[in-house]
Amino acid sequence: MSHSSDAWWRTAVIYQIYIRSFADSDGDGIGDLAGIRSRLPYLADLGVDAIWVTPFYPSPMADGGYDVADYRDIDPLFGSLAEAEKLVEEAHASGLRVVLDLVPNHTSDQHAWFRAALASSPGSPARARYIFREGRGPNGEQPPNDWLSVFGGPAWQRVPDGQWYLHLFAPEQPDLDWTHPEVIEEFHDVLRFWLDRGVDGFRIDVAHGLAKDPEMPDVGEEPEDILEPTKRIDHPFWDRDEVHDVYRGWRQVTDSYAGDRMLVGEAWVATAERRARYVRGDELHSAFNFDFLKSDWDAGALRTVIDRCLVADSAVGAPTTWVLANHDVEREVTRYGGGETGLRRARAAALLMLALPGGAYVYQGEELGLEEITDLPDELLQDPTWKRSGHTVRGRDGCRVPVPWSTDGPSLGFGAGEPWLPQLAHWADLSVQAQDGATGSTLDLYRSALRLRRRLLEGASLTWLDAPPTALVLRRNDGPDAVVCAVNLGPEPLPIPDHEEVLLASGPVDDVVPADTAVWLRVT
């Protein structure tokens, strides 16, 4: 088994839809499936190849839907199973593939299995699907070990009979025991349930976290190091070797279906080489490349990341998958310095990302140049991190604010009601309506880049050309189709490389590429 060389996912641009914030059809302030369906023409016109829809399953929403109570249905907030089926059908008719979000590390505490586990006694088969342990101390009143939850506080919750259960995320998200055959079989079945309905792939939540050290040893480090999956390789719950068996099993399931179904892993791991282990020929098809997202706006750092990731992934025959943003990280306009500088850099970064070989992700609103909203009112914050950190860490709501579609209306076209998080007034000027057809707008830049990329940039070759240390100049394709991407990350103007034609630029260019600007050039 190996990765086929012309499969769609190798070069696809996949648009991430955070369903709660994309488009609200019924005015309840929360995005839904009908909202997505109504915006398929926009997405097809944008020029992306596929959509990834964040979890839409029945859920108490303790973590925005990443606490799944039933993997085979749709939460009424978002619609119905019939509507999900229609979404797949209509997306396909619009030329878009559909990737669902699968959450295998944990269920909701309202999932039938966990309710059964709580209703059963210690040591019962129902508890064996989760990770229940006795506590430490004379009466077991101390957690079984020192593991911490990603959202703050201990990773263990005590139940009335005295046992503790593991939750690497919120207490409402109990971790499954992935050594249990029923857990393995259940997820094969869930995959088949959706594959039978025509979905093209799955994004795997916390792909690096499913396997735990059976000895459950203390981590014994500073709390922040315990949770940092990228700090060490020998970790009791992140990136353990056993997790790869799970993906080998899943790969057999997707391979048994026609039509290049794909699996993309959310794997936060220590190095590009460790990540490449997830995309070996008989495991996942791709994995988000978070090194690119985490890199500073620095030519040397970015070049190192790009080279290292390309080498690591190509060693196992997989494409690299570039990411600038998602619903868990600060929006890149803000990350790169905010204001005009941040936006200029974000636009240049988009041209760099879309010029690289492999796949790429666009997070809703990225194509509009939205910034992080950092001062949302405390009482509206919903990320569990806010509560679990004792109101010290505000969490990720600032990158999850509903998309502005039009220049006016109660939620700038997001829906008829008040949106679940308030937009900024100036987002009217960033709305799709305001940017549509406006030459030089960020939306226009993304549309143009995606069209050109489809036509000119699907090959695998990349050659670095000479450039000053504060610039990146790379060539894609050889021969008559060659394209050069030049990015100026420094303060001094960069002389524009020799070219036949300027194909696209993230800002005004003439015989120089100004600071924080990128350009695509046709060369011979």
> What are 409's two structure tokens?
């209306």
Q: What phi, psi does 11 have (nearest 5°)?
A: -125, 10
Has 511 been annotated as catalytic? no
Has 222 been annotated as catalytic? no
Residue 20 C-beta: closest distance to ligand NOJ, Å: 11
Q: Which is nearer to ligand NOJ, 244 or 327 (CB)?
A: 327
Alpha helices in 238-368 (DSSP H): 243-255, 272-276, 290-294, 299-314, 332-335, 339-355
Residue 319 C-beta: closest distance to ligand NOJ, Å: 21
Residue 125 C-beta: closest distance to ligand NOJ, Å: 26
Residues in 143-162 at the binding interface with ligand NOJ, rule: CB under 6 A: none
Cross-strand pairs, 289: 322
Give the SS3 label for residue 101. strand
Residues in 60-99 at the binding interface with ligand NOJ, rule: CB under 6 A: 63, 66
Q: What phi, psi does 262 have (nearest 5°)?
A: -130, 155
* Residue from 46, 190, 206, 276 in contact with ligand NOJ (CB under 6 A): 206
Number of chain positions touching ligand NOJ (CB under 6 A) = 9
Contact between residue 161 and residue 122 where contact means Cβ atoms under 8 Å apart: yes
* Residue from 17, 102, 103, 299 in contact with ligand NOJ (CB under 6 A): 103
Residue 156 C-beta: closest distance to ligand NOJ, Å: 17
Give the SS3 label for residue 125. coil
Residue 61 C-beta: closest distance to ligand NOJ, Å: 12
Residues in 263-282 at the binding interface with ligand NOJ, rule: CB under 6 A: 266
Residue 382 C-beta: closest distance to ligand NOJ, Å: 11
Query: Does the footprint of ligand NOJ cover residue 186 (CB under 6 A)?
Result: no
Annotated catalytic residue: which of 109, 205, 332, 372? Answer: 205
CA atoms within 13 A on the CB side of 387: 12
Query: Does the footprint of ligand NOJ cover residue 169 (CB under 6 A)?
Result: yes
Query: Does the footprint of ligand NOJ cover residue 52 (CB under 6 A)?
Result: no
- Could you give the string, one character per residue 387-416, with x where binding to ligand NOJ holds by CB under 6 A and - elsewhere? ------------------------------
Contact between residue 342 and residue 410 where contact means Cβ atoms under 8 Å apart: no
Q: Determine if residue 337 is left, alpha or beta; phi over 0 gives left, psi from -120 to 50 gives alpha, anything else beta.
A: left
The two counts, helices (H) then strands (E), for the chain are 15, 18
Query: How many other β-carbons are positioned within 10 Å of the β-carbon of residue 78?
Result: 25
User: Could you tell me the end-to-end alpha-carbon distance of the chain, in angstroms, rounded to an integer?
Assistant: 38
Query: Does the footprint of ligand NOJ cover residue 172 (CB under 6 A)?
Result: no
Q: What is the Cα–Cα distance from 406 to 441, expressed in whole angstroms?
A: 15
Residues in 441-480 at the binding interface with ligand NOJ, rule: CB under 6 A: none
Query: Does the footprint of ligand NOJ cover residue 328 (CB under 6 A)?
Result: yes
Give the SS3 label for residue 84. helix
Annotated catalytic residue: which of 101, 266, 283, 383? Answer: 266
Query: Does the footprint of ligand NOJ cover residue 210 (CB under 6 A)?
Result: no
Q: What is the Cα–Cα distance from 142 to 153, expressed in whole angstroms?
A: 13
* Residue from 205, 291, 313, 397 in contact with ligand NOJ (CB under 6 A): 205
> What are 454's two structure tokens?
């489809």
Select the residue whose beta carbon is closest to ligand NOJ and give its number.
66
Residue 129 C-beta: closest distance to ligand NOJ, Å: 18
Q: Determine if residue 393 is left, alpha or beta; phi over 0 gives left, psi from -120 to 50 gives alpha, anything else beta.
A: beta
Q: Which is nearer to ligand NOJ, 144 or 174 (CB)?
A: 174
Residue 223 C-beta: closest distance to ligand NOJ, Å: 18
Q: Which is nearer to ligand NOJ, 254 or 382 (CB)?
A: 382
CA-based radius of gyration for the chain: 23
Query: Does the footprint of ligand NOJ cover residue 330 (CB under 6 A)?
Result: no
Identify which of 518, 401, 522 has the alpha carbon closest to the alpha carbon of residue 457. Answer: 522
Residues with Cβ < 8 Å from 241, sequence gap 6 or more?
211
Q: Which is nearer to ligand NOJ, 366 or 516 (CB)?
A: 366
Binding site for ligand NOJ (CB under 6 A): 63, 66, 103, 169, 205-206, 266, 327-328
User: Which amino acids are annotated catalytic?
Assistant: 205, 266
